């Protein structure tokens, strides 16, 4: 975990203190269930809650015990006994370490997902608000990095909103995948622990019961979980790349907020760099790299081997922490994004109306020209505009329109008025509301 | 695509012929919608269906045209015109190539998924049937590859059944992700095509409408799709690895069916190798390798760049074809798996009852011994059994039980009857039905 | 393998015909060695070369036999016997199938690598030639997508040349990794075949001897091989992304060659898209996706399991074929790249000399100003230029220079001449030759 | 970075303190070179070394400054000035932050690699020593997990030794890839810094000079570096998987050292689990997961974007730290591995001599039988042995030999003596020394 890419709320979920608190709760709820079953005295369960609930576990002390006994759960139970005393022997009856460890991982991942959902919602809110703000802000649509036809900046953001809505759904499904409890004993057969214990702990910890575990919760769940996070990371990259493009010097249609006193570069005082979205691009890679090892973790030997454990010690905190940070960084970028509608319009118009080429093409075909030769007519004028644009740094207002007027073959097919009528940008935006209705319903 | 790992049903979905047929259908349905809107004559749409529907497209001919015009969709339309004649000019009005290409990919992926679901169901049926057959077939559970406590072979299979049920759910969700239609024009604004066309084609092709496309359908959908397939592949690997372990010479509790006349090795006539499950292990890697590029495909430039296309030309057919093949190979392996219950029992018993060590430990604690010293008592006897097992090729029936009887510290705490009562395997299996009820309800 | 991304030379290496020819050669060389050892008659070896060398193997016939005997090597040997007759029984004496299969894979990969080296050399030649051509073509260097300081287009290309030189070295090392021969029998112990056979075949096939094989050649070699290809693919992506950036409408400093009659888009006749470099970006992902499964192939069970085989049936041909295609496509792009030096200069100058901000900063510090306040002085003027640039579509010639003249705090520190002297672009290019000498020595 | 998988020596390389010390050294060496060039006073350079060399940098103080100025290098320089005083203004003249940051990363990676080489050497030494010890320890070779023919445990280890020798070579090459220095200014043109400074710093820091940098060192180098580490991790997994197999209960031919007082499981006192090699299997995945993002880092925008930075903040320390830990853990496992030669022999013999089936097959062919029917003869007897093995827990000494004697078709071809002569295990080991000579020369 890279501390500069961590928010304290998420880090807290993965702290040693949180982990031990969850361990305690699982054990204590387990005691309640065991007491109900008559396996241990009711009084013991009460004492455990009382004294353990009030305890402040000493991480250093547990570490010290672990160095001695070389077993983390036993170390914790030993420390717990220091608070609870005599009745400590009723704790952990019939449990296996994995019952505690795997269920705790589920609780942590579920809580982490709840925080991720908060981040997603912040991104969604920012996207929606800015999309509505720029619903009609015209800008050139680009395919292959080349000017194509107009769209609006709001539609761009609506597209990202729809993508993040899907990401949110996937995150909810991913939460369901891993919010499961398994307390089924050494090999998953409940030989030494009643299934009722599992059911009770699951309910209390807000988890569902794993139908069939084998000492551990099956790892296809975790693979699906990290895959969902990987897709969300890719969507973050998608927005980040868009903004980086918009900010590049020659485009400059939008910029990350650049605060007073900020420095873009220690060497070059003129610099204003999209460092946040570049950073998000990198964070996306970091989140995504967990997907492959999570999938490799699925095929464990027989009822379990422990190869997945070291992997998860890394990717479970790191991936959720970095994604959480990235979501909030992204939300901030969107909320504060400085948008230049005039520059958008100016950039679009620097190609002298070329973005209407399809419309002219269709008009020529409707005027009876074969598609092939109509294409040739439009293309030969368009190419001239490109040359003007390249050589003169801008094609000049209405350059394409003018050339069409001057082309005898074109004017044989279309009247001057017809030509002019095709250079009306509103034409391209007539379905903006349709799209917005679909997305924001 | 590796032809030896392809079933004809799935390959057919990805054939050129299938692709052109889908292209035609999208175009023809589009014409219906355009006719309804009055953009083209009703008669034209009818002719297109009639003549195009009857046409047998000539792939070689289309290839020849493409070599000339260097555009696949235009090549197809030219060929189509050869069947339809004059009215061909009403086809593709206001469409962009991507409208056809992307919607076709959706159709192909959706159909591929339907086939994958058939494969999943065959695997599930095989797992269920064999699980029920072996519900009570006792076998040693192994954690870390080491004997732990008994379970049943049916529980193993039930576990895989539950895993594949989750995989099936993920596959259904994945299908929803990609079964979408986009016919929205050059940049997704419907500038030259009415949204009604998209709605009509979507309905006819069994797709839902993409709320906001940008010439193309957003690639987070495809990333999520291939990720779901990657998780399923990992589950296939999970079963494959289990069977490979069970078949290894020293274990030999189950075997892939070995047909009369089959040869395990050209050199060594005694060999019987689990080649199908080894092959499945490799196929899992092949399927999984699509996940990363699919995620890298998400962040396209602005309204689209075409970098995703070459990737998908590879992974869309290859991944679905290989996974389809793998599912049927796996189903066959499970259906025909030769299981050796006696060998399972014999293997388990070669450790002289050691699998009851936890039970003895718990009994000693219940008899008042501290957990730590009880552990020591059990462990010191267990370690002797290991030595016997290793040195003599089997610990001998009841070896552990006998040692416990002979250990004065143990017998001071437990009566002979108490010790003996702990060597009853039924104890471990008392909750088998609970587990089966959970899984097969 | 995607046939449209395949060149016939490379595909031929992976054809069935090539494979059988290599199989034959390994067997026949093996016979020579066996004859030398006196294991088989010299005459037999000669007959085998004579009749087998002249044979045209019938792939369909071998397939038919394989369907019967279910073993590819046996099927081939049976077909070979149809040519050789009686003496066929001397073929394959003491060999294991893997001896043939693995050594053949080595031969194919080595030959594929030789072709890849041809592609690399073509890319290197193109880069060098264009680098020398544009050694002094000034262009703005961009960090974070934002104008920084001037460089030359030749330096950009020299940088890529150096990167591809490293890639070429890696490819040579990768070739060494996999150009190895193993003919060591069932488990690598030479129990039934003399090591001299291996040595002879290795020499004849242009391979080195695997020091210790275990039925198969260890797969760390192949993992290293595909990793090297993955890095080269990433370098291809690196150039591709650069060109895509240079071609984007707002930049347009270079363009992929656009042939007369070419169509950028079926719908929009004005389009000129960098489709080749976009395609290369995707191909890079395809090549790279082989790295992970190749690494997963390393850890096989004991002396070998066959899980690697299906993976390699896919990635060995596909990855080399796609990379080969990509290298030649890239070389073509570079060779034919249309470069616009005037546009490069014009773009650079649209920021009114801002690229000299560091130089001004250093001059102010040398003039005694603290770095912090010097930075503030430069930045406040630079930010005004940005505003002009954004609002007016270009900052105007010398805008930054003028502002500095007008800033009283600046002119208190620097004379007008001093300020003007800092707007000399040659300053930035004084070490171009140093860099070229380093790269092209 | 997971602290439990970190050794202090490696962690120290990545500490903030180490980083700042390297920063200082680069700056100070740079000052020497600048002084030689006459850019700054010689006295200043001396003072900087003297005061800075003696300084103990206060990480917390630097963090505090960074929070204010939001730039890590500036924060450091500010703190450095607190020690150096007045002459601090001569530090960093003409440098760009990346000059410091990228060269520091090179130094850290180079030092990390030196430590990794120590780990590799320890692994190699352990493998060699144990290989020599077990040069003649006979054990069954297994392909597909199934008994094949005999080999020795020493050959297994020699195979791993050869694999790690290759890994060591790759690591040396990887070190060369990244041990480079770039001090070339804002965009790599040396506009404000003389190349002599770079040359001097490179020499002093033990690096070579990057021929052409672009503010940063090109990232194909780092991609190649992490790929090399990924292959080594896969080799670690390879050994780990072998040992896990050897330790599984039914095999038990070797065991990780199990210390007195160690506990295999908190619940089951009889357990002895190969937890170290399982852990290594997981660590291999963690190391390998850096390969893909490192490759994605190669294609940066123009002269650089900063997306690679966050990735490297994670993978550079984490991957080297985890791999370093893994190498030492692996070395310890090999050094202390408990090997059971008797169990190896006993396991091999439980199949009643079946491992000689190829030899019998070859003898029958040499006796004039067609290969096909000879195969049938051997196989039909071999399959009986399998049945005995499975049903009776061991086929009985000489079972296969006896069956061959009793088979009339076999005994028609081979005399009793001939049959018996084929059950001599020394036959399989006659080339052990050849192999050892190849590996350990």
Domain definitions of chain B by residue range: 97-339, 348-440
- For residue C86, what pLDDT is reported? 86
**Residue A144 falls in the annotated catalytic set:** yes
* Options B208, B265, B373, B421, the catalytic residue: B265
- Tell me the nearest-neighbour CA distance from B59 into chain A, angstroms: 22
Helix residue ranges, H only, B179-253: 195-205, 220-247
Rounded mean pLDDT, D366-395: 89
Report how far apart the first and last C-alpha atoms of chain D are (Å, whole number): 38
Secondary structure class of D28 (helix, strand, coil): helix
Contacts of D262 in chain A (CB under 8 A): 70
CB C192 within 8 A of CB D419: no
- Nearest residue on chain C to B240, alpha-carbon basis: C307
Cα separation, C332 vs C315, whole angstroms: 25
Report yes or no: C4 at the B interface, CB cutoff 8 Å.
yes
- For residue B391, what pLDDT is reported? 87
Q: In the predicted model, what is the mean pLDDT of chain D?
A: 95
C191: burial class by Cβ within 10 Å (0-12, 13-18, 19+)? buried
Structure-token pair, residue A265: 């570069």
According to CATH, the topology of domain D1-93 is: Fumarase C; Chain B, domain 1 (1.10.275)
pLDDT along chain A (441 residues), means of 10: 95 97 98 96 96 95 88 91 91 92 98 98 98 98 97 98 98 98 96 96 98 97 98 98 98 93 85 96 98 98 97 98 98 98 95 94 89 91 93 83 96 96 95 97 79
Tell me the backbone φ, ψ of residue D265, rounded to 5 degrees.
Answer: -155, 140
Residues 6 or more apart whose Cβ sits within 8 Å of residue C373: none
Query: Residue D98: which pLDDT band, with cuts at 50, 70 and 90?
Result: very high
Q: What is the pLDDT of residues B88-105, one digit of tens each?
A: 889 998 899 999 999 999
Contacts of A269 in chain D (CB under 8 A): none
CATH architecture for the domain at A349-440: Orthogonal Bundle (1.10)
Contacts of C144 in chain A (CB under 8 A): 244, 264, 271, 273-275, 278
Among the listed residues B44, B288, D179, the one whose alpha carbon sits nearest the alpha carbon of residue C311: B288
- For residue D422, what pLDDT is reported? 94
Angstrom CA distances, C125 to A135, C130, C327, C410, D143, stand at 50, 9, 12, 48, 47
Interface of D with C in 48-87 (CB under 8 A): none
* Options B143, B144, B266, B270, the catalytic residue: B144
Share of chain C above pLDDT 70, in %: 100
Residue with tokens 């449209």: C4
Contacts of A296 in chain D (CB under 8 A): 285
- For residue C68, what pLDDT is reported? 82
Q: Which residue has the higher pLDDT, C269 or A316?
A: A316
Interface of B with C in 220-259 (CB under 8 A): 244, 248
- For residue C358, what pLDDT is reported? 94
Domain D95-339: state its class: mainly alpha
According to CATH, the topology of domain B348-440 is: Ribonucleotide Reductase Protein R1; domain 1 (1.10.40)
Q: What is the pLDDT of residues D204-219, one digit of tens each?
A: 999 999 999 999 999 9
Rounded mean pLDDT, D125-133: 98
Cβ pair B279:C5 closer than 8 A: no
Report how far apart the first and last C-alpha atoms of chain A are (Å, whole number): 38
Cα separation, C414 vs A107, whole angstroms: 65
Rounded mean pLDDT, D309-336: 98
Structure-token pair, residue D325: 């830990």
Q: Is the pLDDT of residue C266 over 90?
A: no
Query: Residue C1: which pLDDT band, with cuts at 50, 70 and 90?
Result: confident
- Residue in D94, D143, D284 closest to C187 by CB: D143
Among the listed residues C113, C164, C70, the one whose alpha carbon sits nearest the alpha carbon of residue C319: C113
Cα separation, B331 vs B323, whole angstroms: 12
Among the listed residues A297, A333, D423, the one whose alpha carbon sits nearest the alpha carbon of residue B230: A297
Cβ pair A96:D266 closer than 8 A: yes
Cβ pair B306:C185 closer than 8 A: no
Beta bridge partners of A339: A254
Domain C96-339: state its class: mainly alpha
- Tell me the nearest-neighbour CA distance from B261 into chain A, angstroms: 31
Residues 6 or more apart whose Cβ sits within 8 Å of residue C173: C228, D173
Q: ipTM value of the model?
A: 0.97
- For residue A395, what pLDDT is reported? 77
Cα separation, B351 vs B353, whole angstroms: 6
Domain C347-428: state its class: mainly alpha
**Residue C144 falls in the annotated catalytic set:** yes
Q: Is the pLDDT of residue D305 over 90?
A: yes
- Nearest residue on chain A to C250, alpha-carbon basis: A250
Region of residue B7 (phi > 0: left; psi between -120 and 50: alpha; otherwise: beta): beta
Structure-token pair, residue C408: 């009283």
* Options A208, A265, A373, A421, the catalytic residue: A265
Q: Is the pLDDT of residue D261 over 80?
A: no
- For residue C67, what pLDDT is reported? 86
Residues 6 or more apart whose Cβ sits within 8 Å of residue A185: A94, A95, A96, A99, A191, A192, A193, A215, B149, D267
Query: Residue C424: which pLDDT band, with cuts at 50, 70 and 90?
Result: very high
The CATH code belonging to domain D349-428 is: 1.10.40.30
CB B311 within 8 A of CB C5: no
Cβ pair D314:A309 closer than 8 A: no
Among the listed residues C274, C240, C250, C248, the one whose alpha carbon sits nearest the alpha carbon of residue C347: C250
Q: In the predicted model, what is the mean pLDDT of chain C?
A: 95
- For residue A181, what pLDDT is reported? 98
- For residue A183, what pLDDT is reported? 97
In a structure prediction context, what are the per-residue pLDDT tens digits for chain B, which is 441 residues long? 899 999 999 999 999 999 999 999 999 999 999 999 999 999 999 999 999 999 999 999 999 998 887 888 989 999 999 999 988 889 998 899 999 999 999 999 999 999 999 999 999 999 999 999 999 999 999 999 999 999 999 999 999 999 999 999 999 999 999 999 999 999 999 999 999 999 999 999 999 999 999 999 999 999 999 999 999 999 999 999 999 999 999 999 999 998 887 888 888 999 999 999 999 999 999 999 999 999 999 999 999 999 999 999 999 999 999 999 999 999 999 999 999 999 999 999 999 999 999 999 999 988 988 888 899 999 999 999 999 999 887 778 889 999 999 999 999 999 999 999 999 999 999 999 999 999 997
The maximal CA–CA distance of chain B, rounded, in angstroms, is: 103
Residue D403 CA neighbour count, 13 Å, CB half? 24
Structure-token pair, residue C137: 């073509």
Among the listed residues B65, B3, B310, the one whose alpha carbon sits nearest the alpha carbon of residue C4: B310
The CATH code belonging to domain B97-339 is: 1.20.200.10
- Residue in A143, A149, A166 closest to B189 by CB: A149
C172: burial class by Cβ within 10 Å (0-12, 13-18, 19+)? middle
Structure-token pair, residue B141: 């559970």
| Interface probe with B: pick from A180, A302, A356, A358, most Cβ of B within 10 Å | A302
CA C99 to chain centre: 30
Cα separation, C107 vs B401, whole angstroms: 60
Q: What is the pLDDT of residues C61-115, one digit of tens each?
A: 999 998 887 888 989 999 999 999 988 889 998 899 999 999 999 999 999 999 9
């Amino acid at each position: 975990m890279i501390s500069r890419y961590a928010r304290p709320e998420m880090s807290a979920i993965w702290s040693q203190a949180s982990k031990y608190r969850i361990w305690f709760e699982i054990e204590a709820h387990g005691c309640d269930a065991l007491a109900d079953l008559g396996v241990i005295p009711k009084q013991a369960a009460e004492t455990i809650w009382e004294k353990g609930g009030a305890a402040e576990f000493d991480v250093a002390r547990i570490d010290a015990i672990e160095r001695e006994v070389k077993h983390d759960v036993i170390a914790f139970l030993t420390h717990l006994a220091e608070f609870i005393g005599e009745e400590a022997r009723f704790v952990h009856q019939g449990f296996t370490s994995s019952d505690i460890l795997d269920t705790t991982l589920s609780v942590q991942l579920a809580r982490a997902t709840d925080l991720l959902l908060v981040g997603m919602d912040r991104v969604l809110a920012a996207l929606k608000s800015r999309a509505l703000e720029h619903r009609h802000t015209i800008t050139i649509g680009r395919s292959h990095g080349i000017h194509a036809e107009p769209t609006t900046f709001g539609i761009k953001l609506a597209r990202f909103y729809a993508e993040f809505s899907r990401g949110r759904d996937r995150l909810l499904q991913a939460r369901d995948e891993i919010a499961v409890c398994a307390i089924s004993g050494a090999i998953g057969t409940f030989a030494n622990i009643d299934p009722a214990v599992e059911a009770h702990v699951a309910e209390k910890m807000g988890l569902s019961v794993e139908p069939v575990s084998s000492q551990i919760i099956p790892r296809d769940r975790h693979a699906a979980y990290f895959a969902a996070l990987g897709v969300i990371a890719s969507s973050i990259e998608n927005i980040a790349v868009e903004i980086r493009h918009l900010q590049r010097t020659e485009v400059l249609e939008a910029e990350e907020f650049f605060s007073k006193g900020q420095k873009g570069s220690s060497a070059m005082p003129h610099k204003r760099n999209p460092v946040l979205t570049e950073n998000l691009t990198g964070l996306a890679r970091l989140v995504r790299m967990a997907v492959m090892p999570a999938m490799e973790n699925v095929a464990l030997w027989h009822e379990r081997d422990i190869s997945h454990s070291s992997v998860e010690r890394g990717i479970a905190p790191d991936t959720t922490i970095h994604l959480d940070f990235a979501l909030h960084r992204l939300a901030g970028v969107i909320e504060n994004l400085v948008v230049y509608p005039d520059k958008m319009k100016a950039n679009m118009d620097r190609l002298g109306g070329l973005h209407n080429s399809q419309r002219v093409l269709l008009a020529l075909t409707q005027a009876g020209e074969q598609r092939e030769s109509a294409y040739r007519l439009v293309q030969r004028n368009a190419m001239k505009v490109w040359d003007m644009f390249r050589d003169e740094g801008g094609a000049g207002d209405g350059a394409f329109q003018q050339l069409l007027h001057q082309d005898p073959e074109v004017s044989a097919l279309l009247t001057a008025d017809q030509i002019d009528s095709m250079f009306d940008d509103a034409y391209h935006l007539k379905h903006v509301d349709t799209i917005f209705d679909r997305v924001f319903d």
